[in-house]
Amino acid sequence: MSAELNLATKNLNKMGYLELDVDPTLDLVAEINKLKKEKNAVILAHYYQESEIQDIADYIGDSLGLSQQAAETDADIIVFAGVHFMAETAKMLSPSKKVLLPDLKAGCSLADSCPAPVFRKFKEKYPDHKVVSYINCTAELKTLTDVCCTSTNAKHIIDSFPPEQKLIFAPDVNLGRWLVKETGRDMVLWNGSCMVHEIFSHEKITKLRIKHPDAAFIAHPECEAHILDIADHVGSTSSLLRFTRESDYQEFIVATEPGIIHQMVKESPDKVFIPAPPNNACACNECPHMKRNTMEKLYLCMKHELPEIHLPEWVIEQGVASIDRMLEISAKAGL
Ligand code: 13P
Ligand code: SF4
């Protein structure tokens, strides 16, 4: 091992990624494709990744699609171009495979908002309740969960419990409130939120809609209720993408992380997409965690097979049932 690689490996946990220089003349697309073949690796990318990463991925999708792919792949290495909880989920589903994440610090404010030891105490107050957790949570939280869900399958997961069964929903309070409204179930909600979806500006969106009266306003259910109340369509990233493709609208104001617009433009090149503005000075609303991944970090992580996701065995053993159950219910529902 070279001295540089040795030092970068030592600093991995501090930095989150291998801090090594990448030759700027290198054709990263060609190099990454070569590494994929050589190592029998598959790149799974979330819709919020930067466009170049989406374009080199073997599969691009929402949280449900990504976990289905992670469970089914026959690759030896899963490279997760997404955030930490997604890579952890892949590791739980395929524990014998090597799971790589280009930057370990690609976290998630929602997952961080629900620490497992605090949630354990909270859960003790509701001994008759089952726990449904949004997949955007830590692996340890999944050990305290009966069934996971994503925004694509959440209604099906909740409806899978008998009506008299009391439920706790964690960690996203906005998705939880939307589900209470949609399913008519009065659930106990954990008060977590996504730093991206909770800051869309009602006032700026209203002004944009006046300027673009023929545009559809579409929103992810992680947004706050006052934003969802004015939306023409609410759904997961894959549902929003499908809506833009299938609806007759020609213009869309999109209230979710703007990375998804790359696929929207690819699928409907003649339609117009406007990212919904947040309540700060920025024009769009990128997830700083998702955007920690870069082509350089992706290349380095595939080349050196670091950083790798490791989980304690007990976490995998006790947590995976909640994801398996989610996949089972989703398959039955044809999702
Ligand atoms: P979905 O892609 O499953 O809708 O999730 C959105 C999200 O915030 C992922 O971090
Ligand atoms: Fe987490 Fe929100 Fe970023 Fe998704 S968009 S990874 S929920 S902080």
> How much is the pLDDT for 169?
98
* DSSP structure class, residue 172: B
Average pLDDT on 161-167 reads 97
Task: Name which of 169, 230, 170, 244 is nearest 200 in CA terms.
Answer: 230
pLDDT higher than threshold 90 for residue 319: yes
Q: Which of 81, 111, 82, 61 is nearest to 236 (CA)?
A: 61
Percentage of the chain modeled with pLDDT above 70: 100
Tell me which ligand sits closest to the C-alpha of residue 150.
1
Residue 21: pLDDT over 80: yes
Distance from the alpha carbon of residue 62 to the mean position of ligand 1, in angstroms: 6
Question: Is residue 145 in contact with ligand 1, taking CB distance under 6 Å?
Answer: no
CATH number, domain 3-106+289-310: 3.40.50.10800
Please tell me what DSSP assigns to residue 260: G
Mean per-residue pLDDT, 274-294 = 91
C-alpha 44 to ligand 1 mean position (Å): 14
* CA 136 to ligand 2 center in whole angstroms: 8
User: What number is the average pLDDT over the span 272-290?
Assistant: 91
- 1 pLDDT higher than 90: no
pLDDT recorded at residue 239: 97
Q: Whose CA is nearest to atom 9 of ligand 1?
A: 63
Q: Which ligand 1 atom is nearest residue 220's CA?
A: 4
Rounded distance between C-alpha atoms, residue 266 and residue 275, angstroms: 16
For residue 54 and ligand 1, the question of a CB distance below 6 A is answered with: no
pLDDT at position 283 over 80: no
Average pLDDT rounded to a whole number, residues 138-152: 98
- The pLDDT value recorded for residue 165 is 98
Answer yes or no: same fold for 3-106+289-310 and 202-275: yes
The arrangement of strands across the sheet holding 166-170 comes to 147-149, 129-134, 166-170, 188-189
For the chain, give every domain's residue range: 3-106+289-310, 110-194+316-332, 202-275
Confidence of residue 134 (pLDDT cuts 50, 70, 90): very high
CA of 26 to the centre of ligand 2 (A): 31
Q: 147 pairs with which residues across the strands?
A: 132
Question: What's the pLDDT at 126?
Answer: 98
Question: What CATH number belongs to 202-275?
Answer: 3.40.50.10800
C-alpha R_g of the chain: 20
Phi, psi of 28 (to 5 degrees): -65, -35
Whether 167 has a pLDDT exceeding 80, the answer reads yes
- For residue 78, pLDDT beyond 80: yes
Q: What is the mean pLDDT of the chain?
A: 97
What percentage of the chain reaches a pLDDT higher than 90?
Answer: 98
Split at pLDDT 50, 70, 90, the class of 241 is: very high
Higher pLDDT, 270 or 280: 270
Confidence band of 305 (pLDDT split at 50, 70, 90): very high
Ligand 2: which residue has its CA nearest to atom 7? 194
pLDDT score recorded for residue 335: 95
Mean of the pLDDT values across residues 73-77?
96
| CATH number, domain 110-194+316-332 | 3.40.50.10800
What is the rounded average pLDDT of the residues 71-86? 97
Q: Is the pLDDT of residue 284 over 80?
A: no
Position 280 scores a pLDDT of 86
pLDDT at 177: 98
Q: Which of 118-127, 170-179, 249-258, 272-281 has the lowest mean pLDDT?
A: 272-281
Q: What does the pLDDT read at residue 40?
A: 98
Global confidence as pTM: 0.96
Identify residue 136 by its one-letter amino acid code: N
Taking only the tens place, the pLDDT of each residue in 248-276 is 999 999 999 999 999 999 999 999 999 99
Residue-wise burial string across 71-80, b where 16 or more C-beta atoms lie within 10 A, e elsewhere: bebebebbbb
Q: What is the mean pLDDT of residues 88-92?
A: 97
